Amino acid sequence: MGKNSLIGGSIWEEYSQKVQDLMNNPQHMGEITEEDAKARGGKLVVADFGAESCGDAVRLYWLVDETNDVIMDAKFKSFGCGTAIASSDTMAGLCIGKTVDQAIKITNLDVERAMRDTPDTPAVPPQKMHCSVMAYDVIKAAAASYKGVDAASFEDEIIVCECARVSLGTIKEVIKLNDLKTVEQITNYTKAGAFCKSCIKPGGHEEKEYYLVDILRDTRAEMEQEKLKALADAKIAGTDNEVPFNELTMIQKFKKVESVIDENIRPMLVMDGGNLEIIDIKETDDGMTDVYIRYMGACAGCASSSTGTLFAIEGVLREKCSETIRVLPI
């Protein structure tokens, strides 16, 4: 909902009823003391996190059973806006009953979804997504304190969009796999840039190391270089010969398989009311190339999808691409 849509209405229309209720009546606000921890036989963990972009801060208390790493209880104190209170309260509730390792996997999107009244309606306006990001970051800080490690050790990828937790690797892969040409397409495929928009280009409410406009430009340049290299390799191998399938990059293999399916397989499936999509392609230790597919439409319930149809798909791909291909429906 844009600003103009609020004229004559209420700004609260952009917030779910759950968020409004938790702003005024949080369920897990408070603190856990050392005396509480001793009385209940758990280890007290206290972690702080502050968001420089808005001045909000949150303190998280965990009471952890050290025999199994289960979070017995969780409390919080929030120094910030009402959305920060609601997000922190939801985050604390999601932690209770989980192990520390399970809690680390709670993302800001999990927090935001848990605050929705209905599955398809966002709980907060886009510019307030940073509050749920703060809840995610304080969980990492608490887990790091409990485990005695650096919080950065929980991040194995560079995160470009904090709001949607989308990594640099994911964005680049999606651009290449789907031949994306605009930032809007990146957002449609990954949700990166859909919320606070700071990651789209310089000038947002907080400075970023990576921006979608630059990633798109650089990735498109990489794609052009890969294309030129493939053409050069093909020319060296002989102008009448294609680059061998096993020498293609994973992106090129994906596109090759997809092209063969589009030309030789998909039309027959569509005629019978079915279809398929390629989920993934993986190289195995035994030298095979596993192509994972998902049947759609009439194919999903067809008895031959695991026999005749599957053998036909695999046979075409082996003939057109490589004898090492193995097709696996999921």
**Residue range 219-236, pLDDT digits in tens:** 999 998 888 887 776 665
In this structure, the number of other CB atoms found within 10 A of the CB of residue 224 comes to: 10
**Beta-sheet pairing, 325-329 with 289-297:** parallel
Res. 259: pLDDT tops 60: yes
What percent of the chain has a predicted confidence (pLDDT) above 70? 91
Domains 161-221 and 245-329 share a fold: no
Q: 59 vs 207, which has greater pLDDT? A: 59
Which fold would CATH assign to domain 161-221?
Answer: Arc Repressor Mutant, subunit A (1.10.10)
**Secondary structure letter of residue 99 according to DSSP:** B
Residue-wise DSSP of 239-250: TT-PPPGGGS-H
What percent of the chain has a predicted confidence (pLDDT) above 90? 47
2-16, 72-86, 98-112, 310-324: least confidently modelled range: 2-16
Res. 239: pLDDT tops 50: no
Residues, the chain:
330
Over residues 4-28, the mean pLDDT reads 77
**Whole-number Å distance between alpha carbons of 105 and 143:** 11
Indicate the CATH number of 245-329 among 3.30.300.130, 3.30.450.20, 3.30.300.20, 3.30.420.40: 3.30.300.130
Cα 266 to chain centroid distance, Å, stands at 29
Are the C-beta atoms of residues 29 and 53 closer than 8 Å to each other?
A: no
Res. 3: pLDDT tops 70: no
Dump pLDDT digits (tens) for 284-299. Answer: 988 899 999 999 988 8
Catalytic-residue membership of 302:
no
Dump pLDDT digits (tens) for 131-186. Answer: 777 777 889 899 999 999 887 777 667 889 888 778 888 899 889 888 899 999 99
- Looking at 54, 95, 161, 321, which residue is catalytic? 54
Res. 127: pLDDT tops 80: no
Q: 5 vs 249, which has greater pLDDT? A: 249
* In the chain, where the domains are located: 3-152, 161-221, 245-329
Instruction: Please tell me the predicted confidence (pLDDT) of residue 306.
Output: 84
Residue 329's nearest CA partner among 258, 265, 257, 280 is 280
Q: What is the CATH number of domain 3-152?
A: 3.90.1010.10
Give, for 116, the enclosing helix (H) or strand (E).
none
Catalytic-residue membership of 131:
yes
| DSSP helix/strand/coil, 223 | helix
- Looking at 81, 95, 131, 302, which residue is catalytic? 131
